[in-house]
Amino acid sequence: MGEISFTKMQGAGNDFILVREEDLPRALGSEIGDLARKICDRRFGAGADGLMVASCKRDGIQMRYCNADGSPAAVCGNGLRCFARYASEQQLVEEDRFVVQTDAGAKAVELLRDAAGAICGAQVEIGRPELLPYEIPALLPGSRIIDSPLNVSGLSLRVSCLKVGVPHAVVFWEQSPTEKQLCGIGRAVEHHPAFPEGINFDIAVPAGKDTFRIFTWERGAGHTLACGTGCCAAAAAARLSKRSDAAQIRLIAEGGTLTVKIEEDGNLLLSGGAQKICSGTFLF
């Protein structure tokens, strides 16, 4: 039997297990998918939407991410905010502004502090969305997939597809979905043949000026209370489909509210909270 020290954190209800690479058993090597499945299990593990591993490399601090089912993901927006706070509190970085190396490239982050000076969240760079179908990838016609028709389980959806580190399909509805609707459609969209590598699915509902409620089915994790990259995808899709022309869009997820700033060059900045839940030792 082995053991691993871990910290559990959440950002807008999206929860994560964070560990340092140096604390991993050597036998694991670079394979963390099996560990993710075990430690993220909500009955037999610590329970989380995903696992993040922090390591210090020559080009800076690195984040590796796996979903709860063990599948890797290039980046996670809510996870990146939690990772930024974890890196600071673990004394892996010294400044409030630094760069995190991810499988989706280098991401600039800035810690946010409350009036007392305590870390309460972070602003993280997600980058410019990729819109070409082969970049997502999505097997749908057109040079861009914005409000494009997609038949899913007998339903005719209008989807906007883009990649913000990871792929997302966004639909805009006038009413909030039921749990059954979100899970049924989300699962079907994730595994739709139009998306050979799977895809995350988001339903955005107008909730005031430049504000949307958002509901997410995550590839490899299922229904989650929030998704940072999903908020970024919805904000970008709202601009591209002319549902908003704002430079800053507010997204109300089931687990909390996030803000997406869209810079002039299209770069997306995600801001929101990051809270430590607990720390402990996982036996395996």
Where residue 140 sits, what CATH number does that domain have? 3.10.310.10
Respond yes or no: is residue 82 known to be catalytic. no
Residue pair 220/73 in contact (Cβ under 8 Å)? The answer is yes
Do 140 and 238 fall into the same domain? yes
Residue 181 has pLDDT above 70, yes or no: yes
Q: Among the options 40, 76, 82, 232, which is catalytic?
A: 76
Do 117 and 156 fall into the same domain? no
Residue pair 230/75 in contact (Cβ under 8 Å)? The answer is no
pLDDT of 284 reads 79
> Which residue matches tokens 């980058």?
127
Residue 267 has pLDDT above 90, yes or no: yes
Do 7 and 119 fall into the same domain? yes
Q: State percent of the chain over pLDDT 90.
A: 93
Do 164 and 207 fall into the same domain? yes
Do 142 and 258 fall into the same domain? yes
pLDDT of 190 reads 98
Compute the CA torsion angle 274, 277, 280, 283 (nearest 10 deg). -90
Q: State percent of the chain over pLDDT 70.
A: 98
The C-alpha atoms of residue 167 and residue 155 are separated, in whole angstroms, by: 21
Instruction: Count how many Cα atoms sit within 13 Å of the Cα of residue 264 in the half-sphere of its side chain.
Output: 0
Residue 120 has pLDDT above 90, yes or no: yes
Report cis status (omega within 30 of 0) of the bond before 137: yes
The C-alpha atoms of residue 120 and residue 114 are separated, in whole angstroms, by: 6
Which residues have C-beta within 8 Å of that of residue 145, sequence separation ≥ 6? 131, 133, 136, 138, 159, 160, 161, 162
Do 118 and 173 fall into the same domain? no
Instruction: Look at residues 95, 89, 90 and name the one whose alpha carbon lies nearest to residue 109.
Output: 95
Do 156 and 53 fall into the same domain? no
Do 111 and 20 fall into the same domain? yes
Residue 187 has pLDDT above 80, yes or no: yes
Q: Among the options 40, 82, 161, 227, which is catalytic?
A: 227
Q: How many domains does the chain have?
A: 2
The C-alpha atoms of residue 218 and residue 102 are separated, in whole angstroms, by: 19
Q: Which residues constitute the domain of residue 162?
A: 133-266
Do 147 and 255 fall into the same domain? yes
> Which residue matches tokens 């099996």?
34
What's this model's pTM, rounded to 2 decimal places?
Answer: 0.93
Respond yes or no: is residue 76 known to be catalytic. yes
Do 21 and 119 fall into the same domain? yes
